[in-house]
Amino acid sequence: MSDSGSPRVTRLLPDAVHQAVKPGTAVVRLQTTHDRRGVLDGAWWPCSRDIAAELPALISALTEYLGPLTRVGLDAGAWDTLPTRLLVDDRVIHIDSFPVGDDTVLVTRGDQDYFSLLVIPPHATPEAARTAMADAVRADNITRAEQILIDTGTDRAAPKA
| Residue with the larger pLDDT of the pair 159 and 124 | 124
**Cβ(140)–Cβ(115) below 8 Å:** no
Q: What is the pLDDT of residues 123-144, one digit of tens each?
A: 898 889 889 988 888 878 889 9
- Could you say which DSSP state residue 24 is in? T
How far apart CA 105 and CA 120 sit, in angstroms, is 10
